Amino acid sequence: MSKTKKTFLKLEGGDRRLIGRLWRVYVRPYLATLLLAFLFMTILAAATAAYTWLLKYVVDSMTVGGADLGQDALEQTRNFAIVAVPLVLGLTVVSGFSLFIQSILSNKVALNVVGDLQKSMFASLQKTDFAVLTKTAVGTHVSRFTNDVNLVASALLRAMNNLVRDSLTLLFLIASMFYHNWQLSLIIVLVYPVAILPIIRISKRIRGTSHAAQTQMGRITSLLGESIGGTRMVRSYGLETYESKRLGAAFDERIRLYLKLVTAQARVDPIMEILGGVAIAGVLAFGVFLMASGQASGGELVAVLGAILIAAPRARALGTLNNVVQEGLAALSRIFATIDERPTITERKNAKSLTDVKGKLAFKRVRFQYGDDAQALDGISLTVKPGETIALVGPSGGGKSTLINLIVRLYDVSAGQIEIDGHDIRDVNLASLRGAMALVSQDIVLFDDSVAANIGFGRQDASFDHIEAAAKAAAAHGFIMELPDGYQTRVGEAGNTLSGGQRQRIALARAILRDAPILLLDEATSALDASSEAKVQTALNTLTKGRTVIIIAHRLSTIRSADRICVIDKGTIVEQGSHKDLLKKKGLYAKLHALQFTQN
Domain locations in the chain as residue ranges: 13-339, 357-435+560-600
165: CB partners within 8 A, 6+ apart: 41, 44, 45, 102
How far apart CA 114 and CA 118 sit, in angstroms, is 6
57/572 Cα distance (integer angstroms):
94
Contacts of 194 (CB under 8 A, 6+ apart): 275
Q: Of the CATH numbers 3.40.190.10, 3.40.1380.10, 3.40.50.300, 3.40.50.1240, which one belongs to the domain with range 357-435+560-600?
A: 3.40.50.300
- Directed axis angle between helix 182-191 and helix 268-292, to 10°? 160
pTM of the model: 0.74
Instruction: Name the CA dihedral angle for 173, 177, 182, 185, rounded to a multiple of 10 degrees.
Output: -80
Give the pLDDT of residue 369: 87
Rounded to whole angstroms, the Cα distance separating 468 from 516 reads: 18
Beta-ladder partners of 573 = 568
pLDDT at 234: 66
Q: In this structure, are strands 375-384 and 389-393 parallel, antiparallel, or unpaired?
A: unpaired
Q: Are strands 572-577 and 415-420 parallel, antiparallel or unpaired?
A: unpaired
Distance CA 241, CA 196 (A): 49
Whole-number pLDDT of residue 38? 92
377 — phi, psi (to 5°)?
A: -130, 135
- DSSP per-residue string spanning 259-299: HHHHHHHHTHHHHHHHHHHHHHHHHHHHHHHHHHTTSS-HH
Tens digit of pLDDT at every position of the chain (600 positions)? 334 344 444 455 577 888 889 999 999 999 999 999 999 999 998 988 888 887 777 777 665 444 444 445 556 556 666 666 777 788 888 888 998 999 899 989 988 998 899 999 888 888 888 878 777 777 778 878 888 888 898 888 888 887 888 888 888 888 888 887 777 777 766 666 665 666 666 666 666 676 677 677 777 777 777 676 666 566 656 667 777 887 788 888 877 877 777 776 666 666 666 766 676 677 667 667 766 677 767 777 777 777 777 877 787 777 677 777 877 888 898 899 889 888 888 888 888 888 888 989 999 999 998 877 778 888 899 999 998 999 999 888 888 888 998 998 988 898 999 999 999 999 999 888 988 988 888 778 888 889 999 898 888 888 999 999 988 888 889 899 999 999 999 888 778 888 877 888 888 888 888 888 999 988 877 666 677 677 667 767 767 778 899 998 877 877 888 889 999 988 899 999 988 888 888 888 888 888 876 654
The whole-angstrom separation of Cα 476 and Cα 509 is 8
Element spanning 441, H or E: strand 437-441
Q: How many helices (H) and strands (E) does the chain have?
A: 23, 10
pLDDT score at 364 = 93
Which of 485, 532, 474 lies closest to 507, judged by CA? 474
537: Cβ contacts below 8 Å, ≥ 6 apart: 525, 558
Helix (H, G, I), strand (E, B) or coil at 506: helix
Domain 13-339 sits in CATH at: 1.20.1560.10
Name the DSSP class of 343: P
Asked if the domains 13-339 and 357-435+560-600 are classified in one and the same CATH topology, the answer is no
| CA of residue 267 relative to chain centroid, distance | 31
- Alpha carbon distance 126, 300 (integer Å): 64
Q: What is the H or E stretch that residue 258 is in?
A: helix 240-266
What is the helix, strand, coil percentage profile of the chain, to 5? 65, 10, 25
> Measured between alpha carbons, how far is 386 from 359 in angstroms, rounded to an integer?
5
For position 3, what pLDDT does the model report? 41
Signed CA dihedral, 24, 25, 28, 34: sign only: negative
CB of 45 closer than 8 Å to CB of 172:
yes
Cα–chain-centroid distance for residue 565? Answer: 44
List the one residue out of 245, 102, 217 whose CA is nearest residue 164.
102
C-alpha–C-alpha distance, residues 473 and 422, integer Å: 32
Which pLDDT score is estimated for 89? 82
469: nearest Cα among 432, 434, 509, 499: 509
pLDDT for the residue numbered 135: 77
The number of beta carbons lying within 10 Å of the beta carbon of residue 115 is 13
* DSSP for residue 388: -
Asked if residue 383 lies in contact with residue 466, where contact means CB atoms within 8 angstroms, the answer is no
pLDDT (0 to 100) of residue 390: 92
CA 506 – CA 476 distance, rounded (Å)? 7
Q: In what order do the strands lie in the sheet with 423-424?
A: 375-384, 361-369, 415-420, 423-424
Query: Residue 531 CB: number of other CB atoms within 10 A?
Result: 10
* Alpha helix (H) residue ranges in 28-144: 31-61, 64-67, 73-127, 130-135, 138-143
